[in-house]
Amino acid sequence: MKRAAIYVRVSTLDQHPETQLMELRALAIQRGYEVVAEYTDHGFSGAQVKRPGLDQLLLAVRHARVDVVLVWACDRLARSTRHFLEVLDEFNRLRVEFVSLRENIDTGGPLGRALITIIGAIAELERSLIIERVRAGMRRAKLEGRHVGRKPLIVDRMIINLDRDRGLSLAEIAHKHGVSRSTVARILKQTPGPAPPPRPADRMDLAS
């Protein structure tokens, strides 16, 4: 009986991996595999190469603890063609089979090995198209005069300097204006004229 490892990934915290797990467990039973491990990455993008669950899966593969890896879809494993093929190449070198439920791919056969490169290229193309649509939307927003990205931070530099003259510490000023202590320090440093010596509370703030 082949030892199988199940790997699932969901990109947002409000998604649940249980659906993928149930279908992959059923696939393992259908094929007569023994599921020896299940690895989950919750809230991770497929574009991220380093993922806790994936790292544990690769460690198990390298230590010859599994014979086959089951995933719900190829993009659950990786989104970039390069990373996808690197992982599959390692599986092949270590004689570990790869099975994707959605694409019905099994690298245990010659057809599955041939399709791997094609599927990986399609996954990367899909991701590139999504990124280009986002960029096109941002360019259109700029042309229409709409703000794109994070709103600029608006602070009253004069009031910050007045608060400083009144004896407030960096932490107190930062809390009052809703900014970080480093922002307050930078504003005070940019103010013309000699900067007042740091107060004891400031030293504690900056050291913490």
Catalytic residues: 11
What is the distance between the alpha carbons of residues 122 and 108, in angstroms, rounded to a whole number? Answer: 21
User: Which of 122, 72, 121, 80 shows the shortest CA–CA distance to 98?
Assistant: 72
Residue with tokens 């199988």: 4
DSSP-derived 3-state class of residue 141: helix
**HEC string of 107-121?**
CCCHHHHHHHHHHHH
Contacts of 133 (CB under 8 A, 6+ apart): none
Q: Quote the tokens at residue 171.
A: 């932490």
- Count Cβ atoms below 10 Å from residue 170 Cβ, excluding itself: 23
